[in-house]
Structure 1
């Protein structure tokens, strides 16, 4: 029962990463902001989570894993309620930051407490139950988020966390009373933490504001870029020389871990960005409801759930690097399939790459985790897992900002090119006017058609670039040495 409660805590955190994706147009409309500004709701949560994950080990050692877990899940519920009560984008982003800070420790701490309460011979079964929440939440998230946005209002995608979190808090407090971990006074790398928050925050703000501020023609963007670069350099130097670093970068000396983390960041960032773009395109250009877009996105988890139990057996027969290589290439192939999308694409044409992509995702994550953790010393495992989590989450947030900017710019450029080569516009305008449209209404209708076509072409261009990036991510895994054959498959990041 305690294992189920812990797994559910992880479920609602992973759910919150995907539940907002299909609701961005609804949130943007409700708060009277652009859809591209609405993506701040996603990136702010991801960045806060990325910053907090490396702190989890220190917090658990200083205050106890159970105490930190209860504080985090309670804070997650509180900030979820505040997100649902937000009346402006600024308030929502602020409370999403709080939600991310509280949600960040829940994934690693749920693993820690599971391994603490289950006997060693049941660890693999406990981790399997935990892992199922990671693969089922991305299926449920888009469907639940879409249905709530269409039938209730976007606020409920956050408010729904409160009744889910309360039983988890009560269950953990009652069932895990004797499972607290030992604590000790630990020094905290305050300067490292400040440097981390500053460079990540500056870099993310630069990416989020860049398109609206016309990038480096804006003094604000130049200042943010310089701040991010300077503080990043200072962060790296400080962490490499600090006795108790907040992020122990020395673990990157292991070639296998560095290669696996690089592959994870490029692959996951590109994959996660597509998860953000597709539901926006379906709703803003293809006339899909949030629920319908949610069903399209949910297909991505179906084969991942079906194939994941087979991966450990495949890892015993094949080089894990080969599985990762094939998995990322397969995701790249699915991205290439999307270059054939158009405004005439049916539901199944749009859904098919999502469905097939699940096979690649299952071959990607578990072997990659094994390769990265096999490359480090046993005492460095927790640190390595924290850095990989940090890199994965940060890559998703940064890629989202970059991809949405490229997508919007590409759509505008393709629309402008179409306007210059438009055929039969005058004839179509006359036909519309004969059907009762005014000249202005006919012109607006034609402009809307051209804009939809331009965004569709821009979308196919984006996925063409994504396919190339994923091929690069697949190649990087071969930098890593082959892990030992007796290495057991690890739980996912």
Structure 2
């Protein structure tokens, strides 16, 4: 076993370059969770599939990423943090290149699975390496630098993806990772190669890994295919749901008894870790569901191009970028639970503002709630990560970060599937109700048809336009309902964080030990 060496914090320019390189690698990873969102219509059209089938491009990455994240702890002990992190960047870069070369949807999904799987260790390891580069009194600044990448990347993804789709071609949303990945890997290796962590050979929990893959994959397939197969009226969905449930139960029992588990469930004995993981995962699931829903709605029913759909979501990054360093620098002065509660209240406010969207909403109507939500994003990750790691010994941070990221990413993938499914189901219901009032015997409808035909439209064209208006109204009403539901859940999450012990500056306040 390699003898452990105490690591001193980095200083000055070296620490700044290291922070930028680690953050950039994380940015590249998180960017790929959303960069394809506004490109789905282009990808689906190019490959001859529906936009709904195209959502597999998003969820396949998220599920594979979620499955591999918990392996971070075992892989770190086997190969070392630095070697594993650099290898993940290089493999992620290769997988991105292969995604760009894809010529069919199954081929693209396969490479997205590979891309998500090799990217798993990147986020938890970037966090661990970054925290080891800073002195303890500046941990808040380190967390702020790290969280800005996880905040800004989901915002930049739709903007960059939209511009590339409109002005180049969709494969370039993956090709952009190639030079970025190579540069990040080179810089990180140059700075951290002498700061490798201790390694030891541990047996791999093969049974736990197989069970993890089975139940997570079955759960995501249930969510993704449910809307196509009429949910539990389909024996395939029943079988998938049963597999997910039984696989999860066997997984929990096995992991609790396994001496070297693939997922260290004993972390959930720590109250702060459990509370923080629940809060951050549910919050991220709601946030990511919105991130997927907004571009689809704007492009399919509000007439936005990919570029403008991306720009409509961009204002969320303004306050996130401005406030994150301030929050990180002053985190030690406040109880982290107050800051997290503020985040959920602002998330709820932004969702409430969105719940009033109409088909007449203009660009600035979308700007306001997106701008407001930036304040929530700046105060969301930093305090909750601080609470999560407040009881952790340094050697458990990679494993804890991996488990927390696994749950968060899984909920993000679930949020995307649940939001799009509920959106379509509620829209179908609203469409049916609206269509009941459209008939030749209904005066307003008859008058509208007459006016449209008088303007030069044929009867078929007039009916087609009315159908388009009905769909636009139905999907807008459905989106409003989901935003309102999100508002209510965010308000409930405001109270959730208060089950954690008080935390200041990444450490528990006096008297806050677990019992």
Same-fold status (TM-score > 0.5): yes
Q: Secondary structure at the match of 1:409?
A: helix
Q: Which residue number in structure 2 is paired with residue 389 of structure 1? A: 405
Separation in 1 of the partners of 2:189 and 2:381?
32
Q: Which residue number in structure 2 is paired with residue 320 of structure 1? A: 336
Q: Report whether the alignment pairs 1:19 with 2:39.
A: no
Q: Which residue number in structure 2 is paired with residue 467 of structure 1? A: 487
Q: Which residue number in structure 2 is paired with residue 184 of structure 1? A: 200
Task: Choose which of 480, 499, 502 in structure 2 pairs with 1:479.
Answer: 499
User: Comparing 403-412 with 15-24, which one deviates more in the overlay?
Assistant: 15-24
Q: Which residue number in structure 1 is paired with residue 348 of structure 2? A: 332
Q: Count matched residues.
A: 489
Separation in 2 of the partners of 1:348 and 1:172?
41
1:265-303 Cα deviation digits (max 9, x unpaired): 111111111011011101101111111111111111111
1:207-263 Cα deviation digits (max 9, x unpaired): 000000000011110110010000100000011111111111111122222222111
User: Comparing 364-373 with 442-451, which one deviates more in the overlay?
Assistant: 364-373
Q: Which residue number in structure 1 is paired with residue 8 of structure 2? A: none
Q: Which residue number in structure 1 is paired with residue 512 of structure 2? A: none
Q: Which residue number in structure 2 is paired with residue 446 of structure 1? A: 466
Separation in 1 of the partners of 2:274 and 2:76?
26
Task: Choose which of 135, 139, 145 in structure 1 pairs with 2:151.
Answer: 135
User: Comparing 223-232 with 36-45, which one deviates more in the overlay?
Assistant: 36-45
Separation in 2 of the partners of 1:206 and 1:440?
39
The TM-score with structure 2 as length reference comes to 0.89
Q: Which residue number in structure 2 is paired with residue 351 of structure 1? A: 367
1:117–1:179 contact (8 Å) kept in structure 2: no
Separation in 1 of the partners of 2:180 and 2:331?
36
Separation in 2 of the partners of 1:167 and 1:486?
31
Give runs of aligned pairs for residues 337-416 of structure 1, distance below 5 A.
Answer: 337-376=353-392, 380-416=396-432
The TM-score with structure 1 as length reference comes to 0.93
1:255–1:375 contact (8 Å) kept in structure 2: no
Task: Choose which of 219, 225, 231 in structure 1 pairs with 2:235.
Answer: 219
Q: Which residue number in structure 1 is paired with residue 454 of structure 2? A: 434
User: Comparing 480-489 with 151-160, which one deviates more in the overlay?
Assistant: 480-489
Q: Which residue number in structure 1 is paired with residue 13 of structure 2? A: none
Q: Report whether the alignment pairs 1:292 with 2:301.
A: no
2:140–2:506 contact (8 Å) kept in structure 1: no
Q: Report the Cα offset of residue 343 of structure 1.
A: 0.8
Separation in 1 of the partners of 2:250 and 2:258?
12
Say if 1:465 and 1:136 are closer, same or farther in 2 by CA, change over 3 A: closer
Separation in 2 of the partners of 1:258 and 1:174?
36
Separation in 2 of the partners of 1:382 and 1:170?
22
Say if 1:64 and 1:381 are closer, same or farther in 2 by CA, change over 3 A: closer
Q: Which residue number in structure 2 is paired with residue 160 of structure 1? A: 176
Q: Report the Cα offset of residue 425 of structure 1.
A: 2.1
Q: Report the Cα offset of residue 185 of structure 1.
A: 0.9
Separation in 1 of the partners of 2:130 and 2:305?
39
1:287-344 Cα deviation digits (max 9, x unpaired): 1111111111111111111111222465444432122122112101110111110110
Q: Report whether the alignment pairs 1:71 with 2:87.
A: yes
Q: Which residue number in structure 2 is paired with residue 98 of structure 1? A: 114
Separation in 2 of the partners of 1:384 and 1:454?
43
Say if 1:221 and 1:14 are closer, same or farther in 2 by CA, change over 3 A: same
Q: Secondary structure at the match of 2:501?
A: coil
User: Comparing 378-387 with 363-372, which one deviates more in the overlay?
Assistant: 378-387
Separation in 1 of the partners of 2:64 and 2:492?
28
1:426-485 Cα deviation digits (max 9, x unpaired): 222222222222211111111111111111111111111111121222222122222367
1:70–1:173 contact (8 Å) kept in structure 2: yes
Separation in 1 of the partners of 2:237 and 2:280?
28
User: Comparing 124-133 with 77-86, which one deviates more in the overlay?
Assistant: 124-133
1:138–1:298 contact (8 Å) kept in structure 2: no
2:335–2:504 contact (8 Å) kept in structure 1: no
Separation in 1 of the partners of 2:130 and 2:494?
32
Q: Pairwise CA RMSD of aligned residues?
A: 2.2
Q: Report whether the alignment pairs 1:87 with 2:103.
A: yes
Structure 2 runs not aligned, ≥5 long:
1-16, 510-515
